[in-house]
Structure 1
């Protein structure tokens, strides 16, 4: 049943994005770590056009702030830097993943729990597009690779 619901959500997410210049697959937001109200969003963004697209993250209710971030390792330590936009060449994909590029979501104004969906408002080539990101447990099959991601919550 859970996989059927997830499949239905992915179809809805993909079909909602098909009308625009991008398609997002494997969209997900992790449940915030207990005691925090900050988390991150991930997925693969595909440019479905014949020219470059520019993407900005605008809003994600119930979070007070949302930013694009790029993680990198410097002198053996993971660091993050804010990015204004993501640019994706024609027909190419861009991965948002733990330990790499991701969407940071700050200061949730209400609890964010598994099985919810967060509508993230994007500007794609200056056109508004909203994509629903399902909220998932950190205990998914990807959890071991996501250990670095926890450091993102200590801004």
Structure 2
């Protein structure tokens, strides 16, 4: 019986050990949101995401009380025209950084609940596939 309980404890707590070893290994720097023109239905958020862990992680989703919907996009060039392509996630390799920047990966912030002006703050919640969730305060600025 003790052997079964011991085995059960190992099975139940091993996932917690893996999660906690990755916790805090993701950092976000220089988060900002582009000020949108009056009446615009969308804008974008940019930042650098760093992964200091020994495993690849993926940004799975983002949320904000200031927007009804957030999607991950990447700008791609086709025949000299820029097109945004929706992403199911953004991978950050172990020990690497990914820049979300104009003309590349970004968070598309849609259905604004309020008008954001340069100098305002926008709270974002980033969720990763390792279970980590990071709260970010992004400064609204003009380009």
Q: Aligning the two structures, in what range does the TM-score lie when normalised by the shorter sequence?
A: 0.7 to 0.9
Q: May I ask how many residue pairs the two structures share in their alignment?
A: 120
**2:135 counterpart residue number:** 130
The SS at the match of 2:61 is strand
Are 2:52 and 1:42 aligned?
no
Cα shift readout 1:88-124 (whole Å, capped 9, x = no counterpart): 1111000111111100000111111122211111112
**2:69 counterpart residue number:** 65
* C-alpha displacement of 1:39: 0.5
**Which structure has the bigger radius of gyration?**
2
The SS at the match of 1:110 is coil
Alignment gaps of 5+ in structure 2: 1-22
User: Could you tell me how far apart the structure 2 residues matched to 1:122 and 1:61 are?
Assistant: 13
Query: Out of 59, 82, 86, which is 1:82 matched to?
Result: 86
Could you list the structure 1 runs, at least 4 aligned residues long, displaced by more than 3 angstroms after superposition: none
User: Could you tell me how far apart the structure 2 residues matched to 1:35 and 1:71 are?
Assistant: 23
| CA-atom RMSD in angstroms | 1.4
After TM superposition, the score normalised by the length of structure 1 is 0.72
Alignment gaps of 5+ in structure 1: 1-18, 139-155
Query: Out of 103, 107, 112, which is 1:103 matched to?
Result: 107
**1:30 counterpart residue number:** 34
